[in-house]
Amino acid sequence: MEQNRKVTIEDVAKQAGVGIATVSRALNDSGGISAATKAKILQVVDEMGFVPNTSAQSLKIRQTRQIALAVPDIRNAIIPDIAWSVEQAAKQHGYRVVQINTLGNARLELETLREIKKLHVDGLVIMPLAYPKTLENLINRASLPVSVINYGKKLSLDLKADVVGLARQEGKLVMEHLQQIGRTRIAYAGAPKDKIEERYRAYEESVSQVDVSLVYFGEDFNFETGRRAADYFYSLKHMPDAIYAVNDMVAIGIVNRFKELGVKVPEQVAVVGIDNNLWATVTTPKISSVSIMGSEVGRLAAELLLKRIQSAEAAAYERVEFEPRLIVRESSADPTRYSGPSA
């Protein structure tokens, strides 16, 4: 310990091998802690000369009854499902949710982790999109518990956070389906390649050789990206017979624009998205999609975070994976059996 540096509660927790909340319980004579653990902590307090700062404890020792949720884009139709589930889980435990929109920006994702204490919350659920290189390092050094909603990234097994995601790559389900229904000229419509790159990688791995003319990278994951992608594919001398869209909003934009251009879906071009948001079920035709289990993933990510916040003892970090599900609708139905959208 450096001379003249004030001993902090973090120093005590590290020396005692417990969490900050456990130290707080020992100092405040709260329940939820064994006599042996309490005695050990108090001994470390005496040895290190720690003096509690009572005015700061309410912020440091998780008494705000709030958690933060950082999402990449609140305009994406799957985000409300995830946010609602996180909020409901938090309410059941008497917590509120502070929502942050990172815009899928690497700088903002890192800034959220660096400045987590300034949010006056007890923990963070984060859904990264950019995945900057130093993200895992900042999670491991975070002053508060972190729970990660992870789609498609391989994270270190040493990550000091609970992680909830998918058991299989959702993009592979899309490609398998399109190939099974006999489509051979399959295109990909997405956002910048470095965003949700695993979804594009699933496309690369599913074709013998990538035809770059069948790949469209837009600027975002929204409806307009889909419309621009449709215009691009329509301009080709040989149009694709199927399109794998990076998400449902892009898929909806494609179908909407094709309708204006007179391109028939699925007879001429099959379209499949990812997310399985509500809007995919109210379009004409209804859009096939892979469910990424947003509500279930959001709820469990919040539950694991709250469990860690409220636990007196540090437990092993958990990794839970849900199985993505393909929902086949009209936009990729077998054209030999498809007679048009129902009334």
pLDDT, mean over the chain: 89
For the chain, how far is it from start to end, CA to CA, in angstroms? 74
| pLDDT tier, 75 (very low <50, low <70, confident <90, very high otherwise) | confident
CA torsion 303-324-79-93 (nearest 10°) is -10
20-24, 264-268, 287-291: range with lowest mean pLDDT: 20-24
| pLDDT tier, 62 (very low <50, low <70, confident <90, very high otherwise) | very low
- Is residue 304 within 8 Å of 162, Cβ to Cβ? yes
| pLDDT tier, 332 (very low <50, low <70, confident <90, very high otherwise) | very high
Strand partners, 271: 243
Tell which residue, 256, 261, 295, has the closest CA to residue 279: 256
What are the residues whose beta carbons fall under 8 Å from the beta carbon of 3, sequence distance 6 or more?
Answer: none
Answer left, alpha or beta for residue 131, where phi above 0 means left and psi between -120 and 50 means alpha: left
| pLDDT tier, 45 (very low <50, low <70, confident <90, very high otherwise) | confident
Tokens of 13: 């927790």
Name the helix (H) or strand (E) containing 248: helix 248-261
**Structure-token match 């035809």, residue found:** 211
Query: What is the CA angle 165-168-172, rounded to 5?
Result: 130
What's the rounded Cα separation, in Å, for the pair 199 and 69?
A: 23
What's the rounded Cα separation, in Å, for the pair 141 and 252?
A: 40
Q: Which residue has the higher pLDDT, 333 or 338?
A: 333
- Is residue 248 within 8 Å of 277, Cβ to Cβ? yes
Q: What percent of the chain lies above the pLDDT cut of 90?
A: 65
Which residue segments constitute the domains of the chain, with CATH numbers given? 9-60 (1.10.260.40), 66-167+293-325 (3.40.50.2300), 183-291 (3.40.50.2300)
Q: What is the pLDDT of residue 260?
A: 98
Query: In this structure, what DSSP letter does residue 287 have?
Result: P
Q: pLDDT (tens digit, 9 = 90+) per residue, 133-190?
A: 899 999 999 989 999 999 878 899 999 999 999 999 999 999 999 999 999 999 999 9
What's the rounded Cα separation, in Å, for the pair 307 and 99?
A: 20
pLDDT over 50 (residue 58): no
pLDDT over 50 (residue 54): no
CA atoms within 13 A on the CB side of 255: 28
pLDDT over 90 (residue 23): no
pLDDT over 80 (residue 63): no
DSSP symbols for 179-207: HHTT--SEEEEES-TTSSHHHHHHHHHHS
Q: Which residue has the higher pLDDT, 51 or 319?
A: 319
Name the helix (H) or strand (E) containing 80: helix 79-92
Query: What is the CA angle 229-281-128, rounded to 5?
Result: 60
DSSP symbols for 202-236: HHHHHSSS--GGGEEE-SSSSHHHHHHHHHHHHHS
Q: Length of the chain in residues, anyone?
A: 343
| pLDDT tier, 118 (very low <50, low <70, confident <90, very high otherwise) | confident
What's the rounded Cα separation, in Å, for the pair 300 and 293?
A: 11
Q: What is the pLDDT of residue 336?
A: 57
- Integer CA distances (angstroms), 186 to 113, 240, 308, 332, in order: 39, 6, 44, 12
**pTM passes above 0.85:** no
